[in-house]
Amino acid sequence: MRYNDLFSERYRSVTNPSDPLNSRLIELALEAFSTFYKDFFEDEKASEVLRSCLGKHYKTSSAIIESNLSLSLSKYHQGDAKAVILYLESTLSAIHDLVDLLTEQLCE
């Protein structure tokens, strides 16, 4: 469910998300992605569940997600909206991969 919320972020549906007129959409997306990361990777209970289900994949996925999210925040502060979008999309892709892995593990 939370992945779908990120997938549906409004910046993804506008023609030119990096246009300065869409800066608020980027800010909202950064907040949503950051909250997702905190809720699933910084929260001890949630991260333990993921870690126990995914093993080594958890470590790899969390590193990729954290790195891309960090880069998107850095690019936001540098005023590089196009790079923010690129790193948010990379973050979303890594989250999707994690959801796929989790689904595989739970369906075995």
Q: What is the pLDDT of residues 48-83, one digit of tens each?
A: 988 888 888 888 999 999 999 999 999 999 999 999
Quick check: is 11 in a domain?
no
Which pLDDT value is given to residue 55?
Answer: 86
Average pLDDT, the chain: 92
The CA distance from 28 to 13, in Å, is 14
Closest CA relative to residue 76, chosen from 41, 31, 14: 31
Number of neighbours of residue 98 by Cβ within 10 angstroms: 22
81-101 residue pLDDT tens: 999 999 999 999 999 999 998
Which pLDDT value is given to residue 10?
Answer: 93
Which pLDDT value is given to residue 104?
Answer: 84
Quick check: is 57 in a domain?
yes
**pLDDT band for position 31 (cuts 50, 70, 90):** very high
Quick check: is 44 in a domain?
yes
Which structural domain, as residue segments, surrounds residue 87? Answer: 23-107
Quick check: is 13 in a domain?
no
| Degrees, nearest 5: CA angle 37-51-83 | 30
Quick check: is 10 in a domain?
no
The CA distance from 39 to 37, in Å, is 6
Quick check: is 51 in a domain?
yes
Q: What is the pTM of this model?
A: 0.90
How many structural domains comprise the chain? 1
Quick check: is 66 in a domain?
yes
